Amino acid sequence: MIRTFRYVINASDLPSTVHQYLRRQGYSRHILASLKPHPDAVLRNGGHVWFSDQMKPGDVLTVTVRDDVPSVNIVPAPVPFSVVYEDDDLMVINKPAGVSIHPAINHPADTLANGIAHLYQNRGIPYVFRCINRLDRDTTGLLILANNVLSASILEQALQRREIARTYLAVADGKVPPEGTIDLPIGRKEASLIERCVDPEHGDRAVTHFRTLQVFHPDRTQVFHSDCTQILHSDRSLVELHLETGRTHQIRVHMAATGHPLIGDTLYHPRYRTIEGRQALHAWKLSFIHPITKEAMQFTAPLPDDILALLPPDHI
């Protein structure tokens, strides 16, 4: 994939070298280093320019970034997902349950990366897979993919600065308080490669804000004891959650730590399960600034059918 960017230099941008200006536009040192071997990658007024050159008002810089070789070790395969938005710089997709983000030993060709590679193979375009945010295999909802190296650099910096707002919807066990903030550090559970836990001594800070949208009593046929014989009765809560940080399994660990684990979460709520057998967690909304146009972007994805089935007809 080839993308060319054009910048008109104003007096307010000066004094500045080409290198300094491009760094302010979001080009990482790695990107700039990759451009240097190509004489036509960075041009000033259509001609050659050194990165150390001072710019003048009215100068026009054109920068061309290239992904000539697709991501290695990602086999194109028809994996399901839906495109919510797409332009030359990014893609927002709605990921279904049961789809991992990246290939691994146990699923080398049934991941989102394989599906994206398949989409672009059909278009005849080399594509490097760059996923900005992450979702667990069985969590549904919105993800941002960067379509070129510059948008990836800018979006990754925005994520680190907490400028990408991520809002989730979940169905939790019990009556969750009306609103609040969970500020508990999270670390890897000892002797486990997957499970996380609240770890005040060694964990990384993790902050989740929540607001309860509705408390309801479920249809008793939807909830079973782990031995599938005892029907349980308890309230449930439809909860909106906003991540301030992005630790692995953050929402699942935080909700379990407060006594309100997610319905269907067999890792952090093993006594209960739903017929569908996955945590009732959905990445509902994404809000961020477009990395190139600087336009405010906001997207939502409706709750999937298996989570809707857990809610009463009058759910919010």
Q: Which residue numbers are catalytic?
A: 136
Return d(Cα 178, Cα 161) in angstroms, integer: 28
Return d(Cα 147, Cα 98) in angstroms, integer: 24
Write the CA distances from 298 to 144, 170, 295, integer angstroms: 11, 20, 10
Return d(Cα 208, Cα 268) in angstroms, integer: 17
Phi-psi region of 114 (alpha: psi -120 to 50; beta: other; left: phi over 0): alpha
Return d(Cα 274, Cα 67) in angstroms, integer: 44
Could you count the other beta carbons within 10 Å of the beta carbon of residue 254? 25
Give all strands (DSSP E) within the chain, no chain letters.
2-8, 42-44, 47-48, 60-66, 82-86, 90-95, 140-146, 165-173, 179-183, 186-188, 196-198, 207-216, 224-225, 236-243, 272-273, 281-289, 296-300
Could you count the other beta carbons within 10 Å of the beta carbon of residue 92? 19
Q: Which residues pair with 95 in a beta bridge?
A: 141
Return d(Cα 144, Cα 134) in angstroms, integer: 9
Tell me if 218 sits within 8 A of 138, measured CB to CB: no
